[in-house]
Amino acid sequence: MSFYRMHIIIPMDEEAVEHGAIEVKRELSELIEKNNLKDEVKVIETGPVGVVGKGVVMIIYPERLYYYNVKPSDVKEIFEEHIVKGRIVKRIEHDYGEKRAGKIVDYKTVGLTREQKRVVLDRCSIINTLDMEEVIAKGGYSAIEKIISEKIKPEEIIEEVKNSGLRGRGGAGFPTGLKWDFTRRTPGDEKYLICNADEGEPGTYKDRLILEGDPHKLIEAMIIGGYAVGAEKGYIYIRGEYQLSIERTQKAIDDARKFNLLGKNILESGINFDIEIKKGAGAYVCGEETALIESLEGKRGQPRKKPPYPVNKGLWEKPTAVNNVETLANIPAIIINGANWFKNLGAVNSSGTKVFTILGHVEYPGLVEVEMGTPLKDIINIYGGGVKKGKKFKAALIGGAAGVFLSEKLLNVSMDYESLKENKAVLGSGAILVMDEDTSIPEILFSILKFFAHESCGQCSPCRIGTRHLVDLIYKIKNGEGTEKDLDMMLKIVETMKETSFCPLGQSVIMPVKSALTNFKEDFIKILNKKNNEEVLNA
Amino acid sequence: MKLEDLKKIREKYEKEMTLRDGKFKIKIIVGMGTSGIAAGARDTLKALLDEIAKRGLKDVLVTQTGERGLSSNEPVITVEEEGKPSIVYGDVSAEVARKIIAEHIVNGNPVSDYILEVKK
């Protein structure tokens, strides 16, 4: 080990790479090498930092200063001024993190660098994902260590997870401990644990951050989950487009195997568990657990009939627990700190934290982890920096395409399962799409419905026909040719789809449609019969 | 790998990570302006880093700053500690730097021969 005076973090994801992060890192390393500063300054490549639209980000510790939009041509100046002389390059956009070393100077009161409650993302953009030593030094695999050294039984783990109140972060919010308990209790000697990393909800990229930034957390959680439910084999079903996530997670699995943290007789404890990655092929419906299982078995990705649920008959008809990436990423912290600690975070019936992706018309689009129950307006105004260019807030679409349009009236709503349910909304995947006053809700609804029509798997007619029909209707309405009758028809279709569709894809189309038509009714009424009226006027 | 090996790795690399979690009590600032560097501040810095690594000290951070106008006493370093006055040392050669780590940082006794200023 050596001691450095400065750590320079270069978060790497597809966006950063596109903007030249690799060149920036190369340039910087060369300068450090050439000037003989290798023993003083360390350059670390980490997973993404959660800031979007800022090109290459560079974080300098111990100051915890963020440089944004760093170009390879800026590197020399940063090196000469900041790294050698300790002076900030003011020309380049920069920002201090709130939790900093030394004296507190002015920091921005808004933005994504404000301190967050990080449980799931605690190591993201702090550690070098590919460096096993850094992972372990920052508490990686310490939950496994605790389980083995304190001889904690599978039943005790399940009890702890149940008591923690952890609920599924994929959208449905089913209690995780209960799911594991069902899987464990179902008789059978062959069981499976699947991690659903087929992150397809438009506007959501929280799982990507974990997969790219801290895959070891997921692996550790899966070992614990496998041990708890009695599975010796786990699968991570990763969305095919997530190239970097797949590479990093695969590397993490290989490293874990080398350290005897995966495979037979883990750390000589008698626990066996191994993980395999399966790439998705771009179907939204495969995020639904039974369709995912079908796809994993090599069949066409279409949902199965429920019951039987996967906990009874899942992969290869064996008991299977399917958990979302973020859900699993909470497990190690629960084991280490206990159920009560977790329960004290967040809101009633919604323990813990939640990772939200903020996008759309905000100053700082990106990703934050805050406690459950944080008011929507705080997330938008404090972390997102408010509506872009000082415009007025119009709407927020919460939970992705299968989410709900909220109007200004609900800006104070607490972001947790229960409060949102009371307001006929859902937490879903945690995407918050902010729209300013100039946004046309019918246009947004049109693109959402086009998405559903494209992604409907076609297995059941209500969804296959309904989504197509909805696209035709909204197209007509947005072009000013719609009538009151068309609006009624849309509501009738989504209600029928909710009652009769086979899987959550068709059942959830009601959420964006109904909320848009009720909360933003004027937007639609305004443009009804517009074309007809204009023609009459022009005649 | 066994359970003990995991613990060993964690203990060994934990210290290196201190820089990134902002959990430290003592901050040593080395003046690295032109005259500081000319007077050998780079060697001072290297000696500080080396001594800290050798002793496996946690909670200590080394950082740098520019010229502070004490050119005749370069290299100059400042030791800041939570709840204590900051101490500015002058003429800190590599050898003195090691002494400061041993006596001031580890044992809490400032090396009075080299103190230039005590800032409340």
Cross-chain residue pair A133–B50, CB shorter than 8 Å: no
Do A417 and A458 fall into the same domain?
Answer: no
Confidence of residue A249 (pLDDT cuts 50, 70, 90): very high
Domain contains A538: no
Q: What is the CATH number of the domain that holds A464?
A: 1.20.1440.230
Q: Distance, in angstroms, between A19 CA and closest chain B CA?
A: 25
Residue where a domain stops, chosen among A107, A138, A169:
A138
Do A152 and A127 fall into the same domain?
Answer: no
Q: What is the pLDDT of residues A149-171, one digit of tens each?
A: 999 999 999 999 999 999 999 88
Q: Average pLDDT in the A216-236 region?
A: 96
Do A385 and A317 fall into the same domain?
Answer: no
Q: What is the CATH number of the domain that holds A414?
A: 3.10.20.600
* Cβ pair A10, A22 in contact under 8 A: no
Q: What is the pLDDT of residues A172-204, one digit of tens each?
A: 889 999 999 999 999 998 999 999 999 988 888
- Residue A496: both structure tokens together: 């029928």
Q: Distance, in angstroms, between A68 CA and closest chain B CA?
A: 19
| Model pLDDT, residue A305 | 92
Do A196 and A320 fall into the same domain?
Answer: yes
| Model pLDDT, residue A89 | 87
| Model pLDDT, residue A244 | 87
Cross-chain residue pair A268–B2, CB shorter than 8 Å: yes
Q: What is the CATH number of the domain that holds A30?
A: 3.40.30.10
Domain contains A108: yes
Sequence-separated (6 or more) residues with CB below 8 Å from residue A119: A330, A333, A345, A352, A353, A369
Considering only CB atoms, B61 lies closest to which of A101, A141, A260, namely: A101
- In what helix (H) or strand (E) does residue A192 lie, and over which residues does it extend? strand A192-197
Cross-chain residue pair B80–A137, CB shorter than 8 Å: no
Q: Distance, in angstroms, between A6 CA and closest chain B CA?
A: 7
Domain contains A8: yes
Cross-chain residue pair A5–B50, CB shorter than 8 Å: no
Cross-chain residue pair A2–B12, CB shorter than 8 Å: no
Do A242 and A327 fall into the same domain?
Answer: yes
Domain contains A539: no
Do A322 and A353 fall into the same domain?
Answer: no
Half-sphere exposure of A42 (CA within 13 A, CB side): 21
Judge whether residue A111 has pLDDT over 70: no
Judge whether residue B15 has pLDDT over 80: no
| Model pLDDT, residue A97 | 60
* Contacts with B, A 224-263, CB within 8 Å: 259-261
| Model pLDDT, residue A108 | 46
Percentage of chain B beyond pLDDT 90 is 2
Confidence of residue A110 (pLDDT cuts 50, 70, 90): low
CATH class, domain B23-119, is alpha beta
Q: How many domains does chain A have?
A: 4
Domain contains A502: yes
Mean pLDDT over all residues of chain A? 90
Peptide bond into A365 cis (omega under 30): no
Q: Which domain holds residue A349?
A: 345-436
* Cβ pair A463, A496 in contact under 8 A: no
The ipTM assigned to this model is: 0.74
Do A203 and A333 fall into the same domain?
Answer: yes
* Contacts with B, A 63-122, CB within 8 Å: 63-64, 84-87, 99-102
Fill in the amino acid letter for A516. A
Do A175 and A248 fall into the same domain?
Answer: yes
| Model pLDDT, residue A462 | 96
Domain contains A32: yes
Do A201 and A326 fall into the same domain?
Answer: yes
Q: What is the pLDDT of residues A385-412, one digit of tens each?
A: 889 888 999 999 999 999 999 999 999 9
Cross-chain residue pair B13–A137, CB shorter than 8 Å: yes
Where do runs of H (alpha helix) occur along A235-330? 243-258, 289-296, 325-329
Q: What is the pLDDT of residues A313-343, one digit of tens each?
A: 999 999 999 999 999 999 999 999 999 999 9
| Model pLDDT, residue A197 | 95
Confidence of residue B119 (pLDDT cuts 50, 70, 90): confident
- Residue A12: both structure tokens together: 């790497």
| Model pLDDT, residue A213 | 86
Do A423 and A488 fall into the same domain?
Answer: no
Q: What is the pLDDT of residues A53-87, one digit of tens each?
A: 888 999 888 877 889 999 999 999 999 888 887 77
Q: What is the pLDDT of residues A122-144, one digit of tens each?
A: 888 788 888 888 899 889 999 99
Considering only CB atoms, A40 lies closest to which of B16, B27, B49, namely: B49
Q: Average pLDDT in the A249-268 region?
A: 95
Residue where a domain stops, chosen among A327, A342, A357:
A342
